[in-house]
């Protein structure tokens, strides 16, 4: 028996003016390339959950030429995100027409299972842990069911927990490999469409598992750069300090996502700097606390916003750069927000900046709220869930003002001159520490 696992990921823009602008903006293009080149950790986990006597083939969508005949498998597993889900459905339809049963999974499928089932013989909801072994067993007996629900808790406890099959990446030209240390995030931001939607509570992997995975992941590339596929790595500071002590001897350079509270803990910051961490991505969302009232139920980000600048300086002074993320078009944002973000970015010394538009991913609380308020521009817009295309009516400006402002801010922020200024700032920080 041979199972083909096909990963679909990447970054894209639908609005033509933004797409045109995107190809000329160096930092935007750089991050896009990074995201597009990340392997699918979910499918490597599926592979690890597959019985040893089954042959597993890992493919990425770039490997599948639409002009060529389909590579034949007994069963096909496809994982994708909202923005590419229609392409995933198209590929699933082709495979099914060719006689190969298809299983769909991933975050979008978990939130929209009925839609996905129109293009699949079965769907896997939540993660593959607790679901995939049963699915394979049923398939072998000719009794595959349409829905399999993976675990929403205790995901990192054996026997449900397995090491992802990083060996399947050997020989591929990855410049980054990914390892997950946790699922979920207690902040529970309204817009978030990440792993918190498929977990019942924040879950953290035991450090010994994480370290074993990192060793396996970095062994498949010559010059590994590690990206932790977490929503928020340093929620638990005690766990964080222990993890940093454990990763330091590995000599790996790495990146992760967390929140601004990482700056509260000096010991953790010092360990972070020594550990090989090169950059942390932090969702700042908006420079002004008055715009952050509805972002998370506990108003945590709002309570922290007045210390953003101080925290960024504290982190970057250790030589760890911050990639600051902003969401444009939050309720309460007016056309003034674009100038405000530009000024904040310049003042902050952030090495990298991620600018996105508020995006109601299907199934999220934001989606349900905007739907109930009649503010969604289309009923079905999944291919526009790119983080760069506007899909709703903002409250403080028109759709056109948001689109125009976003393009202006892109041009102001991602141009060569500003990029060089941010690079110079980082060089000076590093020099001060030598």
Partner 1 sequence: MNTTTIEQELRQALTEACQKELGPIVLEDDLVHELELDSMASLRLLAVVEKRFDIRFPDHLLGEYRTLQKLVDFISTAQEEAL
The least CB distance from residue 415 to partner 1, in Å, is: 12
Give backbone dihedrals phi and psi of 117, rounded to 5 degrees, phi first: -65, -15
The site string for partner 1 over 180-209 (x = CB under 8 A, - otherwise) reads: ------------------------------
- Cβ-contact 429, 317 below 8 angstroms: yes
The least CB distance from residue 52 to partner 1, in Å, is: 34
Rounded CA-CA distance 113/111 in Å is: 6
Choose, by CB under 8 A, the member of 175, 299, 303, 395 that binds partner 1. Answer: 175
Rounded CA-CA distance 29/414 in Å is: 10
Q: Is residue 178 part of the contact set for partner 1 (CB under 8 A)?
A: no
Choose, by CB under 8 A, the member of 37, 160, 253, 404 that binds partner 1. Answer: 253
Q: Is residue 430 part of the contact set for partner 1 (CB under 8 A)?
A: yes
**Long-range Cβ contacts of 420-428 (<8 Å, 24+ apart):** 421/346, 422/349, 422/350, 422/351, 422/352, 422/353, 423/351, 425/349, 425/351, 426/316, 426/321, 426/351
Q: Is residue 434 part of the contact set for partner 1 (CB under 8 A)?
A: yes
The least CB distance from residue 418 to partner 1, in Å, is: 11
203-204 and 182-183 beta bridge pairing: antiparallel
Q: Is residue 97 part of the contact set for partner 1 (CB under 8 A)?
A: no
The least CB distance from residue 28 to partner 1, in Å, is: 13
Q: Is residue 171 part of the contact set for partner 1 (CB under 8 A)?
A: no
Choose, by CB under 8 A, the member of 90, 146, 249, 251 that binds partner 1. Answer: 251
Rounded CA-CA distance 44/180 in Å is: 12
Give backbone dihedrals phi and psi of 55, rounded to 5 degrees, phi first: -80, 130
Q: Is residue 278 part of the contact set for partner 1 (CB under 8 A)?
A: yes
Rounded CA-CA distance 42/63 in Å is: 18
Q: Is residue 66 part of the contact set for partner 1 (CB under 8 A)?
A: no
For residue 146, which of 101, 206, 111 has the smallest C-alpha distance?
101
Which window, 67-75, 91-99, 337-345, 423-431, contacts partner 1 (CB under 8 A)? 423-431
Q: Restricting to residues 204-223, name those near partner 1 by CB under 8 A.
A: 222-223
Q: Is residue 249 part of the contact set for partner 1 (CB under 8 A)?
A: no
The 3-state secondary structure of 112-178 reads CHHHHHCCCCEEEECCCCCCHHHHHHHHHCCCCCCEEECCCCCCCCCCCCCCCCHHHHCCCCCCCEE
Choose, by CB under 8 A, the member of 24, 30, 299, 398 that binds partner 1. Answer: 30
The least CB distance from residue 274 to partner 1, in Å, is: 13
Q: Which is nearer to partner 1, 191 or 414 (CB)?
A: 414
Q: Which is nearer to partner 1, 97 or 434 (CB)?
A: 434
Q: Which is nearer to partner 1, 281 or 295 (CB)?
A: 281
Sign of the alpha-carbon dihedral angle for 275, 278, 283, 286: positive
How many Cα neighbours within 13 Å face the side chain of 361? 23
Choose, by CB under 8 A, the member of 279, 305, 348, 364 that binds partner 1. Answer: 279
Applying CB under 8 A, the site for partner 1 has a residue count of 24
Rounded CA-CA distance 84/10 in Å is: 8
Q: Is residue 423 part of the contact set for partner 1 (CB under 8 A)?
A: yes
Q: Is residue 424 part of the contact set for partner 1 (CB under 8 A)?
A: yes
Q: Which is nearer to partner 1, 223 or 378 (CB)?
A: 223
How many Cα neighbours within 13 Å face the side chain of 234? 25
Q: Is residue 225 part of the contact set for partner 1 (CB under 8 A)?
A: yes
- Cβ-contact 170, 275 below 8 angstroms: no
Positions that interact with partner 1 (CB under 8 A):
30, 175, 222-223, 225, 251, 253, 278-279, 319, 321, 351, 416-417, 420-421, 423-424, 426-428, 430-431, 434
């Amino acid at each position: 028996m041979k199972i083909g696992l096909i990963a679909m990921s990447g970054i894209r823009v639908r609005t033509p003016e933004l797409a045109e602008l995107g190809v000329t903006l160096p930092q935007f293009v750089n991050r896009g390339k990074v995201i597009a080149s990340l392997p699918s950790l979910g499918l490597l986990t599926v592979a690890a959950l597959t019985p040893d006597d089954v042959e597993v083939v890992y493919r990425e969508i770039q490997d599948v030429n639409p002009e060529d005949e389909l590579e034949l498998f007994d069963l096909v597993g496809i994982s994708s995100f909202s923005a590419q889900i229609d392409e995933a459905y198209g590929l699933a339809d082709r495979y099914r027409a060719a006689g190969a049963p298809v299983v769909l999974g991933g975050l979008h499928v978990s939130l929209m299972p009925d839609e996905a089932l129109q293009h699949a013989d079965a769907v896997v909801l939540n993660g593959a842990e607790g679901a995939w072994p049963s699915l394979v067993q049923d398939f072998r007996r000719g009794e595959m069911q349409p829905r399999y629900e993976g675990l929403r808790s205790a995901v990192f406890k054996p026997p449900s927990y397995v090491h992802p099959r990083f060996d399947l990446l050997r020989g591929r030209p990855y410049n980054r490999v990914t390892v997950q240390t946790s699922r979920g995030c207690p902040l529970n931001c309204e817009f978030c469409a990440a792993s918190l939607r498929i977990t019942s509570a924040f879950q953290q992997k035991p450090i010994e598992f994480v370290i074993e995975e990192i060793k396996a992941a970095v062994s498949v590339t010559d010059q590994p750069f590690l990206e932790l596929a977490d929503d928020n790595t340093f929620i638990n500071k005690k766990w964080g300090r222990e993890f940093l002590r454990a990763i330091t001897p590995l000599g790996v350079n790495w990146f992760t996502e967390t929140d601004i509270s990482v700056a509260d803990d000096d010991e953790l910051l010092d360990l972070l700097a020594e550990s090989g961490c090169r950059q942390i991505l932090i969702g700042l969302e908006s420079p002004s606390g008055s715009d952050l009232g509805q972002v998370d139920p506990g108003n945590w980000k709002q309570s922290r916003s007045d210390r953003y600048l101080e925290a960024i300086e504290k982190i970057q002074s250790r030589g760890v750069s911050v990639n600051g993320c902003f969401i444009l078009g939050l309720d309460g944002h007016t056309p003034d927000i674009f100038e405000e973000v530009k000024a904040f970015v310049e003042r902050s010394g952030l090495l990298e900046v991620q600018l996105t538009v508020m995006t109601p991913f299907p199934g999220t609380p934001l989606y349900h709220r905007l739907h109930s308020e009649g503010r969604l521009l289309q009923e079905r817009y999944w291919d526009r869930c790119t983080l760069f295309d506007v899909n709703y009516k903002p409250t403080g400006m028109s759709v056109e003002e948001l689109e125009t402002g976003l393009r202006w801010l892109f041009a102001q922020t991602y141009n060569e001159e500003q990029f060089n200024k941010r690079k110079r700032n980082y060089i000076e920080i590093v020099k001060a520490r030598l």
